[in-house]
A and B are shown apart, each in its own frame.
Chain A
Amino acid sequence: MGFEGIGASVRRREDLRFVSGRGTYTDDINRPGQLYAVILRSPHAHARIRGIDTAAAKAAPGVAAVFTGDEMAADGVGGLPCGWQVKNKDGTPMAEPPHPVLAVGKVRHVGDPVAVVIAETRSRARDAAELISVDYEVLPAVPTLEAAQKPGAPLVHDGVAGNICYDWHLGDKDAVDAAFAKAHKVARLELVNNRLIPNAMEPRAAVGEFDPMSGEYTLYTTSQNPHVIRLLMGAFVLHIPEHKLRVVAPDVGGGFGSKIYHYAEEAIVTWAAGKLKRPVKWTADRAESFMSDAHGRDHVTVAEMALDRDGRFLALRVRTQANMGAYLSTFAPCVPTYLYATLLAGVYTTPAIYAEVKAVFTNSVPVDAYRGAGRPEATFLLERLVDICALEMGMDRVEIRRRNFIPASAFPYQTPVALQYDSGDYTATLDACLKAADWAGFEARRAEAKRRGKLRGIGISTYIEACGIAPSAVVGSLGARAGLYEVANIRVNPTGSITVFTGTHSHGQGHETTFAQLIADQFGVPMSQVEIVHGDTARIPFGMGTYGSRSIAVGGSAMVKAAEKIIAKGKRIAAHLLEASADDIEFKDGKFQVAGTDRAKTLAEVSLAAYVPHNYPIEELEPGLEETAFYDPKNFTYPGGCHICEVEIDPDTGVVEVVNFTAVDDVGRVINPMIVEGQIQGGVAQGIGQALLETCVYDADGQLLSGSMMDYTMPRADDLPNITVGTAITLCTHNPLGVKGCGEVGAIGSPPAVIGAVVDALKDYGVRHLDMPATPHRLWQIINANRPRMAAE
């Protein structure tokens, strides 16, 4: 056994089952007597439902039931709740229209669920779904931000005037206006943050089951947070008390945010299982994923930076429109507000910031958090604007960043947009990245590429994110309807092995390994003695789940707190066994030892005494050795770093090749470097995907043109470069491990570096900025339009 504690690249223990085909994903679960659900979805972006005739479908072979929205509503099924309420500038609450599980009266996006068919096989259900006749009165659609805000635009929800969900702001408008009034220069940028479709490789699935004897429901689902699903679905949608509802999220094939939310299909299969007294399974096909998984991003923004004579940032003004889609997904309102505008200081000392955000309903799939959630949008805006500032000032892109960095000596640092950063050293990550990427040698590479007929460019991004979400009281004051603590239950078994029950959920992050390393380290036992259990509300006390790079920072901290309780109790047991004072016992290397002596009891001896309490301080202590901790973080954590990208463009075709990508990130203490690197590489791949390949396209009628992998460009192996990852860390100061989180940094830091590189490659073509994705088609259009000018020069 090699070193396997904190800092070791231990191979993942979950991988044996995954490389052997023995994982258990939701669709792998089959319950006796199971039926299959197929959802009939709206082909229209906006239509009134005049009537639904399900008679033929009900009579079709193998069909057990067909249900519509009216029938579910009549049975008391509630709408899908929204977990965050944002307030308007005037303090009034946002518009929060109903979100029925199956459409009632109207459909509002292509893919809106209209009816469910439940049959003996999936094929039978699909056959029958085609027999449902829906009488639609097609209405004009407003699929985009622009269309939805035109004067007199059709309303997505009756009663939501102008399709505005909320009109929100943050920051000091007067201070910003004053700074702009005396600015030496103002840099301005209009940009679009392109809409993305998450496309975790495992399509969503759900299996509902009901036990008529106990009255208990079980839902197996592709979720990042089973307890949250139990809470939302039980309390608001199906009104099943929590003790009668078990939610299991088994192996989950990627989430990236899209599996945080409570989706209609989860409620439908659970409810239908109760109605039919048989298990009901639903599995999305990919086409359904495209039109029913919450999408990401979709902002249109105008940003301005006021600069002084030396290129110092004086003030930032941002106006953003954010597309919510047709309904509010679970956490949608917080994404373009508290996860976005609060990040607009970035790594810079900008003293005054004012942001306005207008959230808009459209006839499109609901938009919610997707890897990074708000922070990639803030980072893209800011880093692109900083490049424009450099242009305006005639300054070097690196120099203007250095000049405006929050210095390492300034922490804790209070930004003008609510956050207080606890630690960081942006110069350190910048310098390490410049060196690793050989920034200084770039011009030679550009010249060499030019000889080969290629346009080479380099781009840089220095960024910060807020994760480790989040202090409950803080988010509560900002509109969250949940706490965002995390829960760990640690059970030292009688013979000394350890079972950890965590409220976080692993869907690719490798928690079973990282957390086992952490626990092994805390207790001084081999990893083989530690088991990590997650994803089952029947086994785990509670939990808020995994998103916002929070698992190690919040969930890991909860484990440390629970471990501290175990050790404190163990000391008292050991003191009794060793006839010493508990104050004299120290716990080290898996042993409770009387300080300064060789008298000691192992963890196993102490736990055995706790479970077989014959010689035990029974008057003072309960038997057993099991503790639970709810850890509520004191602050967000603030990973940051520097990403540098180098591209080559073929001017004949517009094809961009990413030739180098280097990231140096500060993710706080690293438990497992191999896993951290993998997380960052994966995040960068999604960032490159957003920057160069991926985009969701609706036509004017609200039809999804990028509705399959034939039209939505998923990054493939040959689209991507090797991704060089380094770390230069500072410790988080407010959690016990000093950890910050690494799940999203890649997706947050990379897009502006990629676009910066493309813009740099095209600098002779008069390009200042490019929106994403920078596809060959668009680049060729730019190159082609400027060819005559280039020839003339």
Chain B
Amino acid sequence: MPKVSLTVNGKPASAEVENRTLLVELLREHLRLTGTHVGCDTSQCGACVVHVNGASVKSCTMLAVQCEGAEVVTIEGLAAPDGTLHPMQEAFREYHALQCGFCTPGMVMSAIDLVQRNPQGLSDREIREGLEGNLCRCTGYHNIVRAIAAAQQVMHGKVKELPRAAE
């Protein structure tokens, strides 16, 4: 079986996989990083989004063997070593942008990529359009949009601390 070696969340990782093994299967089944989820089989839902070499991708639509030498970041790799959450994770919590939590890892990973690619800042409408590849069945997206709008202010250095949601 082919062996794939890559960096996951800053640490070297390798596994023997089949050629048909998907990146998400490598992460979940071989590396036991089960924070990345599978919600569909048609590349629609985005629960499996991770970053590969700095870009968000659907890990259900990429072969593990394509990731030889790649830098992969998953939801488990976002927080600082001391446990401090990424501003996007913190914003999702602060703005109640999740309910069942299943879409959340992919949603957070997509949102980070979206914000990073748009240093000029995004309107609510642009955030909604930017989430085209991620489905959430619980929240109606209202609070996800608010969370991303707040997180981008921190990520772009506009504010030091995440604006608090109203009580």
Contact = CB atoms under 8 A, between A and B. Distances in A.
A566 interface: no
Interface string A699-727: 00000000011100011111010110000
Contacts of A683: 140
A717 B35 contact: no
Contacts of B90: 19
Given A23-B101, A201-B102, A16 B93 contact: yes
Given A714-B137, A717-B132, A202 B165 contact: no
Interface in A1-43: 8-9, 11-12, 14-25, 27-28, 30
Interface in A487-522: 507-510
Interface residues of B, number: 59
Contacts of B98: 15, 18-19
Nearest to A718: B128
Nearest to A25: B102
A19 B94 CA distance: 11
Main secondary structure on B side of the interface with A: loop
Contact of A202 (B18, B42, B102): B102
A738 interface: no
B47 to A, nearest CB: 6
A288 to B, nearest CB: 9
A11 B165 CA distance: 10
A681 B139 contact: yes
Contacts of A201: 37, 39, 45, 47, 100, 102-103, 135-138
A674 B92 CA distance: 13
A617 interface: no
B99 A678 contact: yes
Contacts of B47: 201
A714 B135 contact: yes
A507 B100 contact: yes
Contacts of A140: none
Nearest to B103: A201
Interface string A672-696: 0011011101111110000000000
Interface in B48-106: 74-76, 78-79, 85, 89-90, 92-94, 96, 98-105
B139 A678 contact: yes
B93 A717 contact: no
A321 interface: no
Contacts of A507: 100
Contacts of A18: 98, 101, 104
A234 B99 CA distance: 31
A198 to B, nearest CB: 8
A256 B139 CA distance: 12
Contact of B37 (A202, A677, A681, A708): A202
Interface stretch (A63-71, A247-255, A430-438, A578-586): A247-255
B15 to A, nearest CB: 14
A200 interface: yes
A80 B42 CA distance: 31
B143 A15 contact: no
B100 A253 contact: yes
B23 interface: no
Contacts of A184: none
Contacts of A22: 35, 76
B108 interface: yes
A23 B103 CA distance: 11
Contact of B140 (A708, A710, A723): A723
Nearest to A710: B42
A671 to B, nearest CB: 14
A12 B93 contact: yes
A20 B40 contact: no
Contacts of A746: 140
B158 interface: no
Contacts of A130: none
Contact of A717 (B32, B40, B75, B145): B145
A65 B26 CA distance: 26
A19 B85 contact: yes
Contacts of A723: 140, 142
Interface string B143-154: 111000000000
Nearest to B33: A21
A529 interface: no
A285 interface: yes
A508 B36 CA distance: 18
Q: Which of B40, B76, B138 has the most CB of A within 10 A?
A: B138
A443 B7 CA distance: 59
A716 B132 contact: yes
B65 to A, nearest CB: 15
Contacts of B135: 201, 709, 714, 716
A414 interface: no
Contact of A15 (B42, B92, B138): B92
A21 B131 contact: no
A644 B105 CA distance: 33
A287 B41 contact: yes
A753 to B, nearest CB: 15
B139 A15 contact: no
A508 B96 contact: no
A203 interface: yes
A508 B39 contact: no
A342 interface: no
A199 B44 CA distance: 12
A253 B102 contact: yes
A547 to B, nearest CB: 15
Contact of A722 (B75, B100, B124, B129): B124
A19 B140 contact: no
A310 to B, nearest CB: 39
A768 interface: no
A286 interface: yes
A203 B135 CA distance: 13
A20 B142 CA distance: 21
A419 to B, nearest CB: 29
Interface string A429-468: 0000000000000000000000000000000000000000
Given A23-B35, A681-B143, A710-B42, A674 B102 contact: no
Interface in A26-82: 27-28, 30
A161 to B, nearest CB: 39
Nearest to B148: A717
A123 interface: yes
B99 A510 contact: yes
A9 B93 CA distance: 12
Interface string A601-630: 000000000000000000000000000000
Contacts of B136: 201, 717
B20 interface: yes
A254 B100 contact: yes
B93 A11 contact: yes
A717 B79 contact: no
B145 to A, nearest CB: 7
Contacts of B89: 19-20
B85 A682 contact: no
Given A508-B100, A681-B143, A716-B132, 11 more contacts: A18-B98, A19-B104, A20-B85, A25-B34, A27-B34, A123-B20, A201-B39, A508-B99, A678-B139, A708-B44, A720-B140
25 contacts: A9-B167, A18-B98, A18-B101, A19-B93, A20-B89, A21-B74, A25-B102, A200-B100, A201-B135, A201-B136, A202-B39, A202-B102, A254-B99, A254-B100, A286-B41, A675-B96, A681-B142, A681-B143, A682-B99, A708-B41, A716-B141, A717-B131, A717-B144, A718-B125, A720-B140
Closest 4 A/B residue pairs (Cβ): A21-B35, A253-B102, A685-B140, A18-B101
Interface of B: 18, 20, 28, 32-42, 44-45, 47, 74-76, 78-79, 85, 89-90, 92-94, 96, 98-105, 108, 124-125, 127-129, 131-132, 134-145, 165, 167
Interface of A: 8-9, 11-12, 14-25, 27-28, 30, 123, 199-203, 251-254, 256, 285-287, 507-510, 674-675, 677-679, 681-686, 708-710, 714-718, 720, 722-723, 746
